[in-house]
Amino acid sequence: MTVIHPTDPILPVAPSRLRNVMTAVRRFFRKAPLSAFWGCIAAAIVIMSVAAPVIAPYPPLKSDFRAMQKPPDEKHWFGTDQIGRDTLSRVIYGSQASLLVAFGAVLFGTTLGALWGLACGYFGGRFDMISQRLIEFLQSFPDLILAMAIAMALGGGLGTVIVAIAVTRIPFGGRVIRSVVLSLKEMQYVEAARGLGASHKRLMFRHILPQCVAPYLILATTHLGVAIVIEASLGFLGVGIPPPNPTWGNMLSDALNSGLIPPWWLVFFPGAAITLTVLAFNLLGDGIRDMLDPRLRGSV
């Protein structure tokens, strides 16, 4: 794996952190305009989900029995479903579930995995060996299947879906950060700190952890997209967040259950929302990766 040099300008330096972030963002726009553009779309989606009550033209759960299963028109831009709920509003509200789950799962899963990887790489030995076997165990299940099994065992709901997807993210964080730590551990500045009598805790958190920020960020952004797709698949299979709360996955599932021939607008718009969101996060992730560490191009 790669070594991030302490001189990299992106790594946070204690004074004037905000200014550094601003410079980094400006540099990002200049060097990778395409990724920055998709980053803006991702930001717009996040804002849309937070401001859903203001933006959405109708309440997402309110049925209008005079307008059932209407194709898109000027009153309902995305049409309505079988019981007259506005599809546009439901797609907007659906983003809340997707983003909450994606951010929550990546935050928990990747972070837990990263800390685990840090400990494995730092301590090595028997602890590392046992941990690696455990991680291989987790990895022997395709992620959607593992997430399904966990979500089903815990019963549906927002929290369980986050936990289920977070568990599938742990091995990735563990593996990547462990290999980074393995090479960092041998570097001279760490040895110097150890020579000066630094404790394990200080070595791990003061000297090694800050160098893991870049790979962690890269990993987290790439896995946001994956988490969104898994969430949608869980919803589609009926083990995600249960209806009537709209998620993109359970909207597609509802459409399929609505009869032999589902109306096209009920199928098209939620899926397009998933695609656009995942695309935006993936391309933003690509851009961040290229900027933080060009050597990783195409590998994570």
| Sites of contact with another protein (CB under 8 A) | 137, 140-146, 148-150, 152-155, 225, 229, 232-233, 236-239, 252, 255-256, 261-262, 264, 267-268, 270-271, 274-275, 278-279, 282-283, 286, 297-298
Closer residue to another protein in complex, CB, 55/149 = 149
Shortest Å distance, C-beta 258 to another protein: 12
Shortest Å distance, C-beta 36 to another protein: 16
Shortest Å distance, C-beta 156 to another protein: 10
Contact (CB, 8 A) for 39 and 298: no
Q: What is the C-alpha to C-alpha distance for residues 268 and 69, in angstroms, rounded to an integer?
A: 14
Report which of 105, 122, 227, 239 is spatially closest to residue 181, judged by C-alpha positions. Answer: 122
Report which of 211, 260, 246, 287 is spatially closest to residue 13, judged by C-alpha positions. Answer: 211
Shortest Å distance, C-beta 233 to another protein: 5
How far, rounded to the nearest angstrom, does the alpha carbon of residue 278 sit from its chain's CA centroid?
A: 9
Question: Per the structure block, which two tokens stand in for 77?
Answer: 């831009």
Closer residue to another protein in complex, CB, 54/261 = 261
Shortest Å distance, C-beta 166 to another protein: 14
Closer residue to another protein in complex, CB, 129/256 = 256
DSSP string, 231-292: HHHHHHHT-SSPTTS--HHHHHHHHHHT-SS--HHHHHHHHHHHHHHHHHHHHHHHHHHHHH
Closer residue to another protein in complex, CB, 95/211 = 95
Shortest Å distance, C-beta 188 to another protein: 31
Shortest Å distance, C-beta 138 to another protein: 8
Contact (CB, 8 A) for 79 and 265: yes
Closer residue to another protein in complex, CB, 48/163 = 163
Report which of 97, 74, 129, 40 is spatially closest to residue 251, judged by C-alpha positions. Answer: 97
Closer residue to another protein in complex, CB, 17/297 = 297
Closer residue to another protein in complex, CB, 20/275 = 275
Q: What is the C-alpha to C-alpha distance for residues 283 and 286, in angstroms, rounded to an integer?
A: 5
The C-alpha angle with vertex 282 and arms to 78 and 277, in degrees rounded to 5, equals 15
Shortest Å distance, C-beta 10 to another protein: 24
Contact (CB, 8 A) for 18 and 273: no
Contact (CB, 8 A) for 143 and 228: no
Closer residue to another protein in complex, CB, 27/297 = 297
The phi and psi torsions of 86 (rounded to 5 degrees) equal -75, 120
